[in-house]
Each structure stands twice: as structure tokens, then as C-alpha cells.
A = this chain, B = another copy of it.
Amino acid sequence: MKLESVDISQTASASAIVFEALKRAIIKGELKDGEPLRQDEIARLFNTSRIPVREAISRLQEQGLVKSQRYKGAVVAGIAPEEVSEIFDFRALLEGHVIEQAVPRMSKETLSAARSYCEEFVASSDPMEWGDLNRKFHSALYQASGLSYHNGVVNAALDRVDRYLRAQLTLTDGMERANIEHMGILEACEKQDAKMACDRTRQHILGAKNTLINHLKSK
């Protein structure tokens, strides 16, 4: 008799665990810009040696999320306002293109999933959750494009600015405006109007960029 081959939970390597945890902490903004990442301290936190920690830091550096100097260690990478601005422009270009490709490939399930993220988004009162749901909403739509490389790059760009985006959502009318614009994008998708979805996505991103830049300048 032959048994079905079961994937016994391939427990991830320590370095992968540390990497994911640090990445999440940086993206969410729990680790502040410029905050040093002490290998020893992190190793103790995860009950490992410094080796997996160093591999994790190497990978984070490659993603641009931390900056290291030889013998001085790694710190959470800050980001200049001009770079924030450039990354939002980049996102506008790319995400517009991706959603345009995605629209003709969206299933009913995709659209209803996006809609429910949208509803959770307005229902939620936890600012930390807004960022996640915002991202899930967009990501659900983008996935339909089938463009895995494009989506990978989109996610990498988002990782770099996610914490600022979250901050932007908490500004006065950030949530409200985001929700209106999400509905507009969703509507375009449901109408199968790819060009409109593209334009609205770009406006959504460029609008967020402007309020964010103004906010950064004002202090």
C-alpha cells in the first residue's frame, strides 16, 4: 500500500524566521528609522546564535530596509522625502499598469474578496489594521494580472514606504479619502474598464503622495 506523501511542516530555518520577523517589524514601523540592530540582542530574542541573524540582516540590506557599515552594524534604513516621492511615482506607474492588465482577468471571487477587504477597512478602528487591509485590497486586485514579477517589485516598493503610508492613513481625512478612492477603483474593475482602473489607481497613489509629502514638509 502506498501512502499519500504528506508535507510534514518543513520547519523554516532560523535565519528565515528572523528575517521575516525583522522585516515585519521594520515595515510596520515598530523599529524606528536609524534604530540599530544589535546581532547579540536579536539572537537572544530568538534563542539562536548570531549566525542566522547576520544572514537575515544581509537579506534585509539587499532589500534596502537596513543599512550596514563594516564593524559598525546595521540600522533601520531611513528614507529621504525625495525618495519617498520617487517611490510613489514609481508605484503609480507600475501599479497602474498592473491593474490595467488585471481587470480583464478578474473573477467574481477576486472582486468579492476585494470588496470584503474594503468593507473590513471601513469597519476597522485599529489604525495598524488599516495598513494591512489597504494592502490586501490592492494586492487582491493585482494578483489577477498573473504578473508575478511585477507584483514582486510592487511589494518590494510597498515594503519600503509602508510605514509612511500607514502614517498617511491616520491623517485627518486619510481613511475617508482612501475608502472613497478604493470604491472608485473597485467600481472601475467591476465595470471591466481597465483604463479607468489604471487612472484611478494612479490618482489614488499620487494623491496619497501629495498629502504625505506636505505632511513631511510641514514639520
Q: Are A153 and B153 in contact (CB under 8 A)?
A: yes
Interface residue count for A (Cβ, 8 Å)? 29
Q: Complex formed: what's the CA distance from A56 to B58 in Å?
A: 8
Is the C-beta of A61 less than 8 angstroms from some C-beta in chain B? yes
* Nearest CB on B from A212, distance (A): 16
Give the residues from 74 to 129 in chain A that come closer than 8 angstroms, CB to CB, to chain B: 83, 86-87, 90, 93-94, 97
Contacts of A147 in B (CB 8 A): 86, 90
**In the complex, which of the residues B54, B94, B97 contacts A55, with contact meaning CB atoms closer than 8 Å?**
B54
Q: Complex formed: what's the CA distance from A62 to B60 in Å?
A: 9
Q: Complex formed: what's the CA distance from A59 to B54 in Å?
A: 11
Contacts of A13 in B (CB 8 A): 70
Is the C-beta of A150 less than 8 angstroms from some C-beta in chain B? yes
Is the C-beta of A15 less than 8 angstroms from some C-beta in chain B? yes
**In the complex, which of the residues B51, B63, B64, B94 contacts A51, with contact meaning CB atoms closer than 8 Å?**
B51
Q: Complex formed: what's the CA distance from A83 to B61 in Å?
A: 25
Contacts of A51 in B (CB 8 A): 51
Complex: chain B residue closest to A149, CB-CB? B86
Q: Complex formed: what's the CA distance from A63 to B51 in Å?
A: 20
Is the C-beta of A155 less than 8 angstroms from some C-beta in chain B? no
Q: Are A150 and B86 in contact (CB under 8 A)?
A: yes
Contacts of A157 in B (CB 8 A): 149, 153
Q: From A15, A55, A63, name the one whose CB has the most chain B CB atoms within 10 angstroms.
A: A55
* Nearest CB on B from A193, distance (A): 20
Is the C-beta of A48 less than 8 angstroms from some C-beta in chain B? no
Is the C-beta of A148 less than 8 angstroms from some C-beta in chain B? yes
CB<8 Å pairs between A and B, sample of 24: A10-B70, A12-B70, A15-B58, A51-B51, A54-B55, A58-B59, A58-B62, A59-B61, A59-B62, A62-B62, A64-B152, A83-B148, A86-B147, A86-B148, A86-B149, A90-B147, A90-B149, A90-B150, A93-B93, A93-B94, A93-B97, A94-B94, A153-B153, A153-B157
